[in-house]
Structure formats: C-alpha cells, structure tokens
Structure 1
Amino acid sequence: MAQLLDMAKKLVGHVKMPEANVSDVSLKHVSRDSATFNAQVSVINPYDHDLPIGEISYTLKSANRVIASGTMEDPGSVVANETTKLDIPIKVPYDVLVSLARDIGSDWDIDYELQLGLSMHIPIVGKFTLPLSKKGEIKLPTISDIF
C-alpha cells in the first residue's frame, strides 16, 4: 500500500497544472447605489479536455480593509489547450467608496489588492483551487471624462 501511495505522489508531482494571472482590474459601471469593477483573468489549460470551474471566490481590499467579497458560482469552463479569458464583476456599494474618500481625494484613484481563488476539478488531482492576487490602482473618471 505504501508503494502505491509513493507512486501516486510521484505521478501527481509531474502532472501539469493550469496557470492563471489577473491581467487587469478596472471600473466597469457606475450606478446610483454602487460601482462595479471588472477583474480580467487569463487561465491557461494544459489538458486536452475542458476543465469546469466550480466557483471563483474574490476579496477586494483597499486601505487595508475589505470593500467587497463573494463568490461567483459555476462561471463556465476553461477551454482545452487554450487560454480562456474570464471577466469577474465585483460590486462595491457607494457607502464603502465614500469611506475611502481620503485615499480617493489625494490622487483620484483607488489603491487595491485583489485576491482570487479559482476552484476546479482536475483529473487525478481532484478538487484544486488556484490562488491569485494582484495589487495596483484604479484611476477614477473625472467629471470631464464623463461629459
């Protein structure tokens, strides 16, 4: 039995794993009660079959506080032997953005840290969560940009 487990560990160690990165985070939409940000994620699937994504969990932080968090259930699949681009909408209520006014007011942008977890089922390995993170700043539109 121990030999079988050792063989399985060696096999799993040589299995190619999907790779991903967050390419951009931007302001997507503004409404009366919230702002929606969009995170663009590129996922590379090294397998010759599609990989279904069970869920995507996200946490968006600014000024060392969580301003949005949640999960996106069943966002689709990662296409076989290709790079799949995913758009992840993140809705932030205005009252949270108003509380960040000091950071926004100084340079008219939001400094952020985004943490994502893409959960998928990989053959042989089983359920696997691919962790991602990105730090940056989102420039906000000025009144002249709107009009």
Structure 2
Amino acid sequence: MASSDKPEIVERGHKEDHKEEHKDEEKNEDKGGFIDKVKDFIHDIGEKIEGAIGFGKPTAAVSGIHLPSINLHKAEIVVDVLISNPNPIPIPLIDINYLIDSDGRKLVSGLIPDAGTIHAHGSETVKIPALLIYDDIKSTYHDIKPGSIIPYRVKVDLIVDVPIFGRITLPLEKKGEIPVPYKPDVDVEKIRFEKFSFEETVANLHLKLENKNDFDLGLNKLDYEICLSDVNIGSAELTESTKIVKNGICKMKIPITFRPKEFGSALWDMIRGRGTRYSIKGNIDVDTPFGPMKLPINKEGGTTCLKKAEDDDDDDEACYSSFSILSKFNLRILLLE
C-alpha cells in the first residue's frame, strides 16, 4: 500500500477536549459578565435610591461651651453639640463618650448611654453636662494653683447608627480656658464716725478687698455680717458696682449703725483708741470673663482702729486717745453720769 493510501489518524478526543474548554470559557465569560452587570445594576440602583431618598452620614460640631455655675469648690460645664441628620428616618444616638483634659492630663471623663434620637431631616443640639471638682484636681495636680487660669480640651465621640452606613463614630474637639477661683481677701482698715451716741452710732467701715485671681472681678453685690469686739453689730447689703482688677485691690466704704452701750466693757477699749477686734463674713456677687460667680469673704481675728469723721489723714494706723474722742463727741458729761 502506498504511503499516500495510509489512513489519516485524527486525534478526535484531543480536539473535542479543546472544544469543551472553549465552551467552558465562553460560559464563564458569559457568567462573569452577567454577575458584573448585576453588580453594576445593583450599584446604580443603590445610588439612585440613595440619591432619591437622601441617605447620608450625619454631621456634628461643638456649637458652644457654658459654665452655668462656678464657685470655689466646683464648676459645672455644659457642652453644646449640634447634630444634623440628612436622612428621611430618625437615627439613634447610641453612646456619647467625653473627656476634658488640660495639657494632656485628664480632668474628668464620662459616658452617656442611649442619648436619644435625632429626628429625620433635622438638626438638634445635644447638651453634654460635666462636673469639675477643684479639690480633686488640686490634689492630683499640685501645680494647679487657686486663682489661676488653665487651658482645657473637650473631646467628644458621638456613636450613631445610620441605615446603609451602619454604626459610625463622629469625633469632636474644642479648646478653651477655665478658672480655678480663689476667694478675695478682706480687711477693715479703719472705722470713721458720722454720728456717735450710746443709743445709736453711725459709722463707715473702710473695707479693703484684694483680688487674688488672674482675672478681673466685676463686683455687683456685697452682703456681710460684722462683729466688733465679739459683738454682732448687724448685717447689710451693698449694691455698689465696682471693678477689682486681677491681682489688684479695691477700697470701699460700708455704712454701719450700732448701739455702743451693748458692747459692755469692750466700749472702753474703743473709746480709749485701742485696737478693736473685728470679724466679717459674707459673700460677693461678681461678673468674670467666665460668667457670674458668688464668692465668700471671711476675716476673723482682725484688728482695726477708730477714726474721727473729719480726720482725713492718710495714716490708716493712727488711733486717737480717749481725751480726743471724748472731746470730739462731747462724751465727758455722759461718762460722768
């Protein structure tokens, strides 16, 4: 048989395998293309739905910090956070974490769970209260002194649950300054008589108030109770407005009326011009750069001198003899009786 007459051997099985592979590839391509098309379709539909119904992430900002109450012992702080919800449904405010520190040192921190709900397509102000106890701060950080102003930073994490986005955290931060108040020092420099009798004596206390704070005090009101020689001579209120500059001194006159015959033997010390023991207690209402404050004034065991009304010399330490006071107020005859 001639070579040309030999039958051609065809590897059918091999060719059929290639055909099957080719068909599988075409099927995979068709399948992958279909899935990609479905994904694109879903993505497009999602974007259109999101755009149509307005789903989006909420925004938040610290809109203000207030000090509703501040005194020598504590400061109440309220942080206002404005939250805007662009979504067509309310979103829950799950947790609020807050921290107040000064130069990296924690002053106070806390957690407010289940803080409420932000209405759909609305903005609301959420108030975060915090309380600073000055004794805790001063006992922990000894370099923080009464009368000083310290920097602070408020850090807030708002945790909300938003449809589509899920649970997200909105971090916020705000810086400022807060005072550590110190009570003013009070002294009675002298007493000047306007009218003197055993039944009723009218005089002016020359009062010295020293502001030991690193900020000004706008004095609006003073209420006081004063004792001379351990005898309570009454109390009163003074509404004279004045300003006491930071680390400065303010001098003022306070009118008093008392009955010397109630002093007993202490009256003779007063008349003889000896130093008169006194104590004064009260409060002052002041305006500060950080808001209004009510600060106590307290002086015990002080000593002052009596001075005649028209003696306007500058010697605050001068005391007058029994003769000069008796002659001035014409008390010689009264005392003899």
Which TM bucket (shorter chain)? 0.7 to 0.9
Residue identity opposite 2:159 in structure 1: S
**How large is the RMSD of aligned CA atoms in angstroms?**
3.2
Q: Quick one: structure 1 residues 140 and 31, their matched pair in 2 at CA, closer, same or farther if it must change by over 3 Å?
A: closer
TM-fit CA distance, 1:67: 0.4
From 29, 38, 59, the equivalent of 2:99 is: 59
Q: Is the 8 A contact 1:26 1:138 kept in 2?
A: no
SS in 1 for 2:135: helix
Q: Determine which structure has more spread, i.e. the larger CA radius of gyration.
A: 2
Residue identity opposite 2:94 in structure 1: G
TM-fit CA distance, 1:72: 0.6
RCO comparison, higher one (Cα < 8 Å, 6+): 1
Between the aligned partners of 2:166 and 2:147, the Cα distance in structure 1 is: 43
SS in 1 for 2:136: helix
Deviations 1:41-97 (A, max 9, x none): 100111111111011000101132010111011111112111100110012222234
Residue identity opposite 1:73 in structure 2: P
- Give the unaligned 5+ runs of structure 1: none
What are the within-5 Å matches in structure 2 for residues 123-142 of structure 1? 123-138=163-178, 142=217
Q: Quick one: structure 1 residues 23 and 56, their matched pair in 2 at CA, closer, same or farther if it must change by over 3 Å?
A: same
Q: Verify: 1:115 aligned to 2:158, yes or no.
A: no
Q: Which residue of 2 aligns with 1:35?
A: 75
Between the aligned partners of 1:104 and 1:39, the Cα distance in structure 2 is: 23
Which is worse superposed, 33-42 or 47-56? 33-42
The structure whose residues are more often strand, as a share, is 1
Q: Is the 8 A contact 2:93 2:117 kept in 1?
A: yes
From 123, 144, 161, the equivalent of 1:101 is: 144
Identity %: 30
Q: Quick one: structure 1 residues 140 and 33, their matched pair in 2 at CA, closer, same or farther if it must change by over 3 Å?
A: closer
Between the aligned partners of 2:170 and 2:73, the Cα distance in structure 1 is: 32
Between the aligned partners of 1:104 and 1:63, the Cα distance in structure 2 is: 18
Between the aligned partners of 1:102 and 1:32, the Cα distance in structure 2 is: 12
TM-fit CA distance, 1:138: 3.5
From 103, 115, 131, the equivalent of 1:75 is: 115
Between the aligned partners of 2:81 and 2:147, the Cα distance in structure 1 is: 25
State the TM-score, normalized to the length of structure 2: 0.37
SS in 2 for 1:95: helix
- Give the unaligned 5+ runs of structure 2: 1-34, 182-216, 218-283, 288-292, 295-337
Residue identity opposite 2:144 in structure 1: A
Residue identity opposite 1:58 in structure 2: Y
Q: Which residue of 1 aligns with 2:89?
A: 49
SS in 2 for 1:124: coil
Q: Is the 8 A contact 1:50 1:78 kept in 2?
A: yes
Q: Quick one: structure 1 residues 48 and 65, their matched pair in 2 at CA, closer, same or farther if it must change by over 3 Å?
A: same
Between the aligned partners of 2:159 and 2:66, the Cα distance in structure 1 is: 23
Q: Is the 8 A contact 2:57 2:165 kept in 1?
A: no
TM-fit CA distance, 1:101: 3.0
Q: Is the 8 A contact 2:160 2:167 kept in 1?
A: yes
Deviations 1:17-45 (A, max 9, x none): 11110111222234786322110110011
Q: Is the 8 A contact 2:79 2:128 kept in 1?
A: yes
SS in 2 for 1:49: coil
